[in-house]
Amino acid sequence: MGVRVMCPAFSYRRSVRLPGYNYASIGAYFVTICAADRRCLFGEMEDIAVKVTLCGHVVEESWRWLAQKYPFVHLDEWVLMPNHLHAIIWLAEGCSKPLGSLVGAFKTVSSRRIKAQEGSRTQIWQQNYYEHIIRSDKALLALRQYIRDNPVQWAQDAENPKLPIVYGARPGVSSLDWAALEPPLR
């Protein structure tokens, strides 16, 4: 049986960004963007697949919109889960917006579209998001596989609201051995 993860350091919205790093730099980034209060707004699990709701379809369209709107954004592997999105996003040459601004644009567009569709004023997204700078081909391949496998792993997923909460563990992709995948940051 899996457990939900609650990390007090993240509960207080402390920045998980790398100090001094230019998040508009060319390269690949892994992001996890969660629904507010981990509510399952975007779909429900049916066996090992996500049955996407109307809200989920809006989120998928809004994620694709990001690459249509910004020519320097390229979407790699991604999956929409019942209450979060895992994705790899590439920023290409000519990028004029940092990753946080792009995630913010996606959240704003998808929230407005969902609220207009639902006639709701409820908060759709958590304020922050998880990101990881992908620094090696090995990590890129592992993260692609992690994303592909995510629906199968829902029963043990830290974002699954049906699991008990464990305090102090790292949220996101804690099952990956980062030290084995990438060189340490200097």
CATH number at residue 50: 3.30.70.1290
Report yes or no: 25 and 73 within 8 Å, Cβ to Cβ: no
Report yes or no: 131 and 118 within 8 Å, Cβ to Cβ: no
Bridge partner residues of 179 (DSSP): none
Dump pLDDT digits (tens) for 139-164: 999 999 999 999 999 888 888 888 77
30 lies in a domain? yes
Dump pLDDT digits (tens) for 82-100: 999 999 999 999 999 999 9
Dump pLDDT digits (tens) for 129-145: 999 999 999 999 999 99
**Which tokens belong to 85?**
């999105």
**Which tokens belong to 96?**
């004029």
Q: How much is the pTM?
A: 0.84
77 lies in a domain? yes
89 lies in a domain? yes
Residue 182 is predicted with a pLDDT of: 72
Residue 1 is predicted with a pLDDT of: 46
Bridge partner residues of 84 (DSSP): 34
Count of the separate structural domains present in the chain: 1
Domain that holds residue 95: 4-13+24-181
Report yes or no: 1 and 162 within 8 Å, Cβ to Cβ: no
